[in-house]
A and B are shown apart, each in its own frame.
Chain A
Amino acid sequence: MSTKAAFLARRVVQAAMVVVGVVFLSFFLVRLAPGDAAMAIAGETGYSDPQYVADLRKEFGLDKPVLTQFGIYLAKVSVGDLGFSYQKRQPVYDLIMERLPATLLLAGVVIVVSLVIGIFVGAVSAKYAGRLVDGILRVFLMAFYAMPSYWLGLVLVLMFSVHLGWLPAFGIETMGGDPAPMARALDISRHLVLPALTLGLFFAAIYARLTRAAMLEVVNLDFVRTARAKGISETRLFMRHVLRNALIPVVTYAGLQTSALVGGTVLVETVFSWPGIGRLAYDALIARDNNLLIGIFIFTSVLVVLFNLLTDLLYVVLDPRMELGK
C-alpha cells in the first residue's frame, strides 16, 4: 500500500471512531438536562393534561428506559437513519439536507472572500511593515477582529438596510420573487452581502494578522536570503518563497474555521434569519428536540473530520517536504 492510501485508511478509521464518540456523548449529554421535548411542547401550548404529556412521550419514544432508547437510536444511526424530529415532525436527515445548502453557501462565500481579502491585506501589510499603510490596515484589522459579530451585523443592517435602503436585512431571498435563474441568483447574492460581510470581516482580520506575522518571520529566514542572493526578482521572491511558506498557519486556521463555520454560524444565521443549519440547531436546542440536535452534531462532526482531512492534504501541496502519515 502506498503511503497515501495507508494514511487515508487510518484517517477513515479514526473518523469513524470520532463519530461513534460523538453519538455516545451527545446522546447522553443532552439527556442530562432536566425536562424533555414533551414538557416543552405541553408547557408552550399553555394547556395540558396528563394524557397529553403521556401521548407526546409515547409518540417520541421517551416513555422507554434511556438505555433502550439508546439501543434503538444506535441501531438506526448505524444504517444512516438519523431519526425523526419531535418538534418539526420530519425526518432529521431531510431537515438537515433542506438547510445545508444555505449554510454551505454562506460558509463558502465567507471562506473564499475572507481568505482572499485576508491574505491580500496581510501580504500588503507585511510588505510595507512599519509604514503608514501598515499602521492604518492594522487599526482596521484590530477593530474587525475585536467587534462581536452580532453587533457588527446589527450596525451593518442599520447602515445599509434602514438608512440607505440598499440591501435586504434578512432572509435568503425575496418572498414570491422572480423565479428566473439569473434574477434569483442576483436576489440571493444581494441577501448574502450583509451576513457574509459580518462573518467575513472577522475571519479576514484573523487571516490578515496570521499572514502578516508569518511573512515577517519567513522574510528573515536563511533561504530567503539565499534566494535573494541568487538574484531572483523581488516579486517572485515575495510570492513563491515568502508568501507560500507563510500560508501554512493560515491554512491550518482556515481548516479549523471551515469546520466551525458549518455548525457555528448560529449567531449570524439568527441575526439575519438565514435558513441554515446553525439556526436549525438553535431551534432544536430551545425545543429540546434531541433527535434533531444529535443529528446535527453527528452530521457536522462528519464534516469536521472531512475538512481536517482536506487540510492535511493541502499541507502537502503547499510544502512538499511535509509527509503524510506522520
Chain B
Amino acid sequence: METLRRSSTTRRGFLQSVGGAATLAAAGGYPEWVFAQTRSGVLNAMLNVEPATLNYALLNTSVIQSVCGSINESLLLFDWQLKPQPNLARSFDISPDGLVYTFELEPDVKWHDGKPFTSRDVVFTCAKMLRELNPRSRAAMDRCESITAEGDHKVVFKLKEPFNAFILAFMASTGPMMPAHIYEGTDYRNNPANTAPIGTGPFKFAQWSKGNFIKLVRNDNYWRKGQPGLDEVNFRIIASAEQRAVALETGAVDMAFGDDLDPIDVPRFRENPGLVMVQNAYDAVGEITLMEINQRTAPFNDRRFRAAIMHAMDRNFLVDQLNFGLGRVADSPIFSTVPYYDPKVLTQYEYSPDKAKALLDDMGLKPGAGGVRHKFSVLMLPNQDGPWRRAGEYSKQALADVGLDVELQSTDVATFYKRNGDWDYDVMWNSYGQFGDPAIGMSRFFLSNNIRKGVPQTNTQGYSNPKVDELLQKGATAVKREDAQAAYSELQKILTEDVAMLWMYERRKPLFHAKKFKDVVVGPNGPCDGFGAAKPA
C-alpha cells in the first residue's frame, strides 16, 4: 500500500537505516523494531492464529472478531449493562407487542470504497448473507416474517412471534453489516473481498502479509466525528504463547487479547506498571466453562451422581489457583453479568467430598478394589494447553478423592467436536458463550428439540425436560420483562436442582493494553466493537 510507506527510498532514509543497523549491536541500542512502536498513533496487537478469512459474516471466531470489529460495524452497540445504544442505526423502535423492530440509519455513512451505506445493505446482510452463512444470525433472522427497507435510511423487521432477545442480533459479534454492492449475487465464500474487506468502520483494511501481520489504517472519512483516534492498528500473528508473552513484555506489541496469554503469566503482567488489565472486555460473550454429562445411561442419568461430582470439585481452587482469580465460580446456567441471572433461586453445591461420598453411597456405588466406586472417561478440551489442560488434570485428582476413577482423554479439535456431536463421551469439558441473553447462548444446550446427532455444541447431553422446554419458550417470547424474568428464574431453579450440567467457572479472559493508550475497550464486546475510540493517553 502506497500510503503506508514512509519516505525512505530517499538517499537520507537509506543511509539512516543502514547506519542505524550497523551501529546497533556496537552501541547496544535498540533496533528499529523497538522504535517502530514508539509512534504513538500506532496500536500493535497480536493474534494467536492466522484468521481463515476476513469476511466477518462467513466465520466469526474470536480472531476474526478482533480484526474485523474495527472494519465492519453493526447497527447497534451495547453498553456495560447490555442495553442497546445507537451506532449505524441512529435510533430504533420496538412496537409494544414486541413484533415490529424499526431502525433509522445514520444518513451520511460511506463504505470504505466511497459508496453510501443504505437500507439496501441492511436488508441484504440480514435477510440474505448472514442468514445463509452464519448459524447464530440465522437463528434470529429465521424468526422474521419480513425484512423490508422503507426508503434509503429505514429498515423494518417484522417477527412471526415475539422474541425478546432479537435486539441482540444487532450486536457486532452477531450482526456485522456487509456491503451489498460487493457481495450481492456473488459466491460469498470465494469473493475477493474476503481477504481485503470493505466496511464502514473507523479503520480500513490495508495489507495482509500472510503468516506475518494484518495492517489497518485510519478511515479519514469515518462518519463518527472525532474518530478514529489512531493512525494504524496492526495485528501481528504470533503462534506460541511464550512468544506472545515476550512480545507484550518487550513492548513489541501494545496489546494482548483474552486468549493470547497463558493465565500463568497473568500475575506478572498485572504487576507491570506499563500495562492496564481490562477484565470485562468479554462480558457480552460471557463464557462459562463446564462439564457436559452424557445423561443417556446410568449412573450419569442419576441426579445424585451429578451432584456428587459437583461436591467433589473444588471450584474455588479452579478459579483462584488454576486461573489466578480470573473469573468466578459458576452457579447458574446464566452468566452472572447477563440479564435474568437470579442468585436467589439457585441450588448451591459447595466443595464437600464427604457429601459427594454420601451421595454415591446412597446410590449404592460402594468403594470396590482400591477404593474405586466407578470408572469412566473425561474428555479434555483440546488446543488450549494452559488453563483447560490444568482443569482437566485437576478433575482427575479431585474425582479420585471420592472414589471415582477417571481416564483422561485428550484429542485434537476435529475429533473433539466429532465426539461431542456424536454423543461419544461419558463426561467432557467444554464451554459455552452466553451472548447477552439465555435464549441465544444457553437454551440450545437444554431444549429437547435441539438433541441433534452429528451437530456439535447442541444438546449433546440428551437432557430432556418438558417443563424446561416450556420455560425456555416462555422466557424467549415474553413481551414483558418481568414475565421473562419469572420464567428464567424458575428455569434456573429447576436446572440447578437437577444438576442439568456441571457449571464450573465463569471465565473472565483478561485483555491487556499499554498504558500509553486509553479508551481501548469501551464496551462488553471488547475488540469486537473496534478501536475507533482508542487514542494515545
Please report A residues at the B interface, Cβ cutoff 8 Å.
33-37, 39-53, 59, 87-90, 95, 98-99, 102, 154, 157-158, 161-162, 164-180, 182-183, 186-187, 190, 270-276, 279-280, 282-283, 285-288
Q: Report, nearest first, the 4 A-B pairs whose CB atoms are least far apart.
A: A275-B211, A43-B417, A35-B418, A35-B414
A282: chain B residues at CB < 8 Å are: 239
Known: A171-B212, A172-B212, A288-B414. A46 touches B32 (CB 8 A): no
Contacting residue for A273 out of B28, B32, B239, B418, CB 8 A: B239
What CA separation (Å) do A166 and B53 show in the bound complex? 34
Q: Does B213 contact A (CB under 8 A)?
A: yes
State whether B138 touches A49 (Cβ < 8 A).
yes
Known: A34-B415, A173-B212, A286-B412. A190 touches B31 (CB 8 A): yes
State whether B416 touches A35 (Cβ < 8 A).
yes
State whether B414 touches A48 (Cβ < 8 A).
no
Q: Which of B1-9, B197-205, B398-406 contacts A (4 or more CB under 8 A)?
A: B1-9
How close is B413's CB to chain A, nearest CB, in angstroms? 5
**B420 to A, closest residue via Cβ:** A43
B28: chain A residues at CB < 8 Å are: 164, 166
Q: Does B376 contact A (CB under 8 A)?
A: no
State whether A273 touches B8 (Cβ < 8 A).
no
State whether A162 touches B236 (Cβ < 8 A).
no
State whether A45 touches B414 (Cβ < 8 A).
no
A40: chain B residues at CB < 8 Å are: 413-414, 417
Q: Which of B101-109, B304-312, B455-463, B508-516 contacts A (4 or more CB under 8 A)?
A: B455-463
How close is B135's CB to chain A, nearest CB, in angstroms? 4
**B285 to A, closest residue via Cβ:** A46
Known: A46-B433, A102-B211. A187 touches B414 (CB 8 A): no
State whether A273 touches B33 (Cβ < 8 A).
no
State whether A167 touches B31 (Cβ < 8 A).
yes
How close is A286's CB to chain B, nearest CB, in angstroms? 6
**A174 to B, closest residue via Cβ:** B33
State whether B239 touches A176 (Cβ < 8 A).
no
Contacting residue for A272 out of B234, B243, B444, B456, CB 8 A: B243
State whether B211 touches A280 (Cβ < 8 A).
yes
What CA separation (Å) do A36 and B5 show in the bound complex? 42
Q: Does B363 contact A (CB under 8 A)?
A: no
A43: chain B residues at CB < 8 Å are: 413-414, 416-417, 420-421, 456-457
Known: A271-B243, A273-B240. A33 touches B33 (CB 8 A): no
What CA separation (Å) do A211 and B458 show in the bound complex? 61
Contacting residue for A171 out of B52, B213, B383, B414, CB 8 A: B213
What CA separation (Å) do A167 and B13 show in the bound complex? 21
**B431 to A, closest residue via Cβ:** A46
State whether B36 touches A44 (Cβ < 8 A).
no
Q: How many residues of B contact A (CB 8 A)?
A: 76
Between-chain CB contacts (< 8 Å), 5 pairs: A34-B418, A42-B417, A49-B452, A169-B252, A172-B211
A180: chain B residues at CB < 8 Å are: 8-9, 13-14, 17
How close is A87's CB to chain B, nearest CB, in angstroms? 5
How close is B272's CB to chain A, nearest CB, in angstroms? 13
State whether B414 touches A183 (Cβ < 8 A).
no
Known: A165-B250, A169-B246. A176 touches B232 (CB 8 A): yes
How close is A42's CB to chain B, nearest CB, in angstroms? 6
Known: A42-B456, A183-B8. A270 touches B239 (CB 8 A): yes
**A172 to B, closest residue via Cβ:** B212
What CA separation (Å) do A175 and B236 show in the bound complex? 8
Contacting residue for B8 out of A35, A88, A179, CB 8 A: A179
Known: A53-B454, A89-B190, A190-B21. A168 touches B252 (CB 8 A): yes
B42: chain A residues at CB < 8 Å are: 176
A273: chain B residues at CB < 8 Å are: 211, 236-240, 243
**A191 to B, closest residue via Cβ:** B33
Q: Does B315 contact A (CB under 8 A)?
A: no
Known: A49-B455, A53-B454, A89-B52. A177 touches B416 (CB 8 A): no
B457: chain A residues at CB < 8 Å are: 42-43, 46-48
B14: chain A residues at CB < 8 Å are: 180, 182-183
B246: chain A residues at CB < 8 Å are: 157-158, 161-162, 169-170
Chain B 316-353: CB-based contact to A (< 8 A → 1; otherwise 0): 00000000000000000000000000000000000000
Contacting residue for B189 out of A36, A51, A89, A95, CB 8 A: A89
Within 8 A of A (CB), among B223-265: 232, 234, 236-240, 242-243, 246-247, 249-250, 252
State whether B243 touches A48 (Cβ < 8 A).
no
What CA separation (Å) do A187 and B447 show in the bound complex? 56
Q: Does B136 contact A (CB under 8 A)?
A: yes
A171: chain B residues at CB < 8 Å are: 212-213, 236, 238
Chain B 452-475: CB-based contact to A (< 8 A → 1; otherwise 0): 101111100000000000000000
Q: Does B300 contact A (CB under 8 A)?
A: no
B25: chain A residues at CB < 8 Å are: 166
Contacting residue for B211 out of A45, A99, A154, A183, CB 8 A: A99
What CA separation (Å) do A35 and B416 show in the bound complex? 8
What CA separation (Å) do A137 and B32 show in the bound complex? 35
Q: Does B24 contact A (CB under 8 A)?
A: yes
Known: A157-B243, A178-B6, A286-B412. A53 touches B455 (CB 8 A): yes
A90: chain B residues at CB < 8 Å are: 195
**B17 to A, closest residue via Cβ:** A183
**A170 to B, closest residue via Cβ:** B243
Which of A52, A178, A271 has the most chain B CB atoms inside 10 A of its CB?
A178
**A49 to B, closest residue via Cβ:** B135
Contacting residue for A41 out of B59, B209, B383, CB 8 A: B59
What CA separation (Å) do A47 and B444 show in the bound complex? 9
Known: A50-B455, A271-B243. A35 touches B238 (CB 8 A): no
State whether A34 touches B32 (Cβ < 8 A).
no
What CA separation (Å) do A89 and B54 show in the bound complex? 11
**A98 to B, closest residue via Cβ:** B210
Given A49-B455, A162-B246, A272-B243, output 5 extra A-B contacts at Cβ < 8 Å: A45-B60, A53-B456, A88-B53, A166-B24, A273-B238
A53: chain B residues at CB < 8 Å are: 421, 454-456
State whether A271 touches B415 (Cβ < 8 A).
no
State whether B421 touches A39 (Cβ < 8 A).
yes
A176: chain B residues at CB < 8 Å are: 4, 6, 36, 42, 215, 232, 234
State whether B413 touches A48 (Cβ < 8 A).
no
What CA separation (Å) do A52 and B444 show in the bound complex? 15
Which of B30, B250, B458 has the most chain A CB atoms inside 10 A of its CB?
B250
State whether B30 touches A170 (Cβ < 8 A).
no
A35: chain B residues at CB < 8 Å are: 412-419
What CA separation (Å) do A287 and B416 show in the bound complex? 12
Chain B 10-37: CB-based contact to A (< 8 A → 1; otherwise 0): 0001100110010011001011111010
**B22 to A, closest residue via Cβ:** A186
Known: A53-B455, A98-B210. A174 touches B32 (CB 8 A): yes
What CA separation (Å) do A285 and B383 show in the bound complex? 12
**B191 to A, closest residue via Cβ:** A89
